[in-house]
Amino acid sequence: MMTPDQMISNYFVAGSLPELPRNHFIDGVFVAADSGSRMESFDAGTGEAFAEFAAGSTADVDHAVASAAKGFEVWRNTPPARRCAILNEAARLMRAEADRLAVVESIDSGKTLAEAQGDVAGSARLFEYYAGAADKLDGRSVNLGNGNAAFTLLELVGVTAHIVPWNYPTSTLVRGIAPALATGCSAVVKPAETTPFTALMIAELLVRAGVPAGVVDVVTGTGIEAGAPLVTDPCMRHVTFTGSVTTGVGVMQNVAPNVTGLTLELGGKSPLIAFSDADAEAVAEGALWAIFSNSGQICSAGSRLVIHCDLHAKVLERVIEKAKGLRFGHGLRNPDMGAVNSERH
């Protein structure tokens, strides 16, 4: 197995990565798009295309949803202790393949290798966290008095959809599917069209960990061609979406006719507030990384700084000085800040 340095050196020479998944992952195997259409993926740090992947459509979504519905019937009857063991194995495999996942994440998203490594490590921990919940989710009994009792039973949601953003394609994916899997639900994932690869890699990794075929399916492509048919599918029982407010409103409107459960995480403006007794140096350092981490592409990025007038000049001077000292470059070179995700961004 190559070291990260070897993978990176080979990539800069060849301009591509070997054995990268290029098709949808449905029913436990990689399958081409129904239409045969493909899209290019661009290295955020160079702007050059480095791989192709399947461009999904309604037919591919229908195939994936049918697969997930079939997988759900198997997974829901898998003993919770077994689900726990499988998710722990997924965490182990993710750590074993962390170097490759981080390199792919850095190229695809533009973030620094260190940031990508942190995302992968955190995602492995998420699998472990929810593994611990798998066999501890149950109902309770209620004493109604006079010798009467009632009991509650937690029911599975069913097939779930996960629309994953481009700024944290690995950690947001795992944050959504890990609890779904722990509770016995199945998942259909639509990663962002600019960052499709780690979702495909993790879906295949989960099958190797013991997740039955069909329980996690991935359809790649655009939001219009693949994402919209997924969230409006009547078989979908819950949707998670991370993205812009405008698109989130559209998702909410689309799921309403089917009364589908919905979880939204939308972008916003997050102020950092410093009062007169704050440490100016600490404020400047915090403000710097609140806005430059992940190239500022965070839903909760510190994009506003509200400072008491007594500190304003000193903090502003320090922030400017610190920003001028940042090193920028290709994410694989591990600068202080990598590229934004795409030319459009």
Tokens 């097939």 -> residue: 159
| Residue of 262, 267, 205 lying closest to 237 (CA atoms) | 262
Which residue spans within 36-140 are E strands per DSSP? 38-42, 49-54
DSSP 337: B
> What distance in Å separates the CA atoms of residue 161 and residue 233, rounded to the nearest whole number?
10
> What distance in Å separates the CA atoms of residue 81 and residue 133, rounded to the nearest whole number?
10
DSSP state letters, 45-67: TT--EEEEEE---HHHHHHHHHH
Could you confirm whether 265 is annotated as catalytic? yes
Question: Residues with Cβ < 8 Å from 277, sequence gap 6 or more?
Answer: none
> What distance in Å separates the CA atoms of residue 332 and residue 271, rounded to the nearest whole number?
30
Which of 299, 309, 317, 321 is the catalytic position?
Answer: 299
The crossing angle, in degrees rounded to 10, of helices 171-183 and 80-96 is 160
Could you confirm whether 235 is annotated as catalytic? no
Which of 265, 281, 285, 317 is the catalytic position?
Answer: 265
Instruction: Give the residue numbers annotated as catalytic, written as ranges.
Output: 265, 299
